[in-house]
Structure 1
């Protein structure tokens, strides 16, 4: 039995096409369709219900020490209100999840985890905690609404003065149209934007208020379909695709969030360095005919050299792309490869990531 977010009835009212995802019923698209939703976020603004995501509060005298041990990134120099991305590894160096940590104040942090992993992540944290620390799963109390796109700040400025100036920063005790919420300058689309965290009871009012404020800017509701095409076009990895318990964060290209100079963290001893890295995530641009999807073999001269992790046609760029994990001998930009799609060969070429990068 799938759960429903506090905005479920709103999605039905807006004719959202509901599908099961990560234990919830969520809209994959609305009447406009995935392509128009994608283009709205790239050129104007889109609004997403991401209330299925997980939120875990970490507090106590040893909160920071626990984060340092659990996660690959370094949190010792964070300022209040700052956010930091990090993978979380298992003992073998594989990826348990990737997440975002917000520092509210000394000894209190908010951890935002992927929807499909929130129970697994929470139990992993409880199993590995030490000292004076409390991990509290508050996911069921929190709704999350994402406002994304080049017009998102103009829309939000009509409703609030509590707007974080810097990317990956948040205002914890903010107000939007008189509604208390945490306002975070983050997102998963490759665009500037915000994620609002608020009590479930305010979710419907917040959604309607944002929709009304964004009307003049062409704001439209967007579903899971556009969320996936947007993140893929922006070269952003997704748990369960570009990383999992067997794929480590260095292979995924997340070395910027893996601080090997830290004294220790779970999985550190099993992570490869530059010299011992055997495979890595790359971007592929389709040069032949066809759309590449996930888990398809990648060949060079008839020999398997890796596999695809995600693929789609990019609405904004206008051509199909994919991400893949390839043996390190074949990761150089310009390498020609063949991908086997339903028994048919589709030509592609290794290109730099991200495929799309917004102009600031």
Structure 2
């Protein structure tokens, strides 16, 4: 499978590799892993991580059901907060996947598992879902962009998206005159950052606007190698 940003990556001379069945950029021409890594540590980088899974679980007592399927305690969360957790096999106790759960409401949750395990997590959730709880796989319908690094707030604010909320929380927002996105204070780089979950068809516009807004802040498009 390919990201909705595949043509943007090709135009930037990306070297690609397969991650969980998705052809994704590893690094870009004119920079490479070291420069892209340095940008995230010193300024800001934007990653396409649309290969990550996106599962929506909705219905009465959806949060109670999801809580019964994962290892961490969802009752610690308020709406607008996220939690790192794991899905384990009931028979062996082995880890099926690690993932992040975003609690939008008690009847509406977003789960972001890893690309390679997303279908299996969805299958397991569907197999035990009670009547009235629906598991919707939006793996290809939504995209995820990660804006990471010490200048990330300036870039998102420049395009009209919310910034400054606490780590492991999220807000909804809209680009000035453009697409809507869920803006999550999450990421895997070790730097301050955000992950944007948005409709796949909006991803090219948002990618372009982030790069344009971040030019004065030293932004780089970053492959997964960074």
TM-score bracket relative to the smaller structure: over 0.9
- 1-side partners of 2:111 and 2:161: how far apart? 25
Decide whether the 8 Å contact of 1:164 with 1:170 is kept in 2. Answer: no
Determine if the alignment matches structure 1 residue 112 to structure 2 residue 109. Answer: no
SS of 2:71 mapped into structure 1: coil
What's the TM-score once normalised by structure 1's chain length? 0.60
- Structure with the larger RCO, 1 or 2 (CA within 8 Å, 6+ apart): 2
* SS of equivalent residue, structure 2 residue 205: helix
Residue aligned with 1:4, SS: coil
Task: Return the offset for 1:218.
Answer: 0.8
Q: 1:161 to 1:206 in 2, by over 3 A?
A: closer
Tell me the secondary structure at the aligned position of residue 224 of structure 1: coil
> How well do the aligned residues superpose, as a CA RMSD in angstroms?
1.2
Say if 2:27 is the partner of 1:29.
yes
TM score, norm. by length of structure 2: 0.95
1:67 & 1:191 partners in 2: Cα distance?
29
| Cα-to-partner distance string for 1:89-109 (whole Å, 9 max, x where unaligned) | 112211010111111123111
The residue correspondences of 1:16-95 to structure 2 (distance < 5 A) are 16-31=14-29, 32-91=31-90, 92-95=92-95
Listed as ranges, the gaps of 5+ residues in structure 2 are none
Q: Does 1:126 align with 2:126?
A: yes
Aligned to 2:96: 96
Per the TM alignment, residue 26 of structure 1 is displaced from its structure 2 partner at its CA by: 1.0
Distance 2:23 2:161 in 1: 33
> How many pairs align?
223
Structure 1 residue ranges (4+ consecutive) displaced by more than 4 angstroms after TM superposition: none
Deviation at 1:191, TM superposition (A): 0.6
Corresponding residue for 2:217? 217
The question of whether the paired residues in 1 share the 8 Å contact of 2:181 and 2:196 is answered with yes
SS at match of 1:154: helix
Aligned counterpart, 1:291:
none
Q: Which has the higher helix share?
A: 2
3-state secondary structure, aligned to 1:213: helix
2:2 aligns to what?
A: 4
- What is the aligned partner in structure 1 of residue 148 from structure 2? 148
* CA distance in 2: counterparts of 1:139 and 1:124, whole angstroms: 16
Q: Identify unmatched segments of 5+ residues in structure 1.
A: 227-360
Q: Any idea what SS the aligned residue of 1:72 has?
A: coil
Is 1:159 equivalent to 2:159 in the alignment? yes
Task: Work out whether residues 29 and 224 of structure 1, in 8 Å CA contact, stay in contact via their aligned partners in 2.
Answer: yes
Q: For residues 109 and 159 of structure 1, do their structure 2 counterparts lie closer, same or farther at Cα, with a shift above 3 Å needed? A: same
> 2:153, 2:164 within 8 Å by CA — same for their partners in 1?
no
Q: Which residue of 1 aligns with 2:168?
A: 168
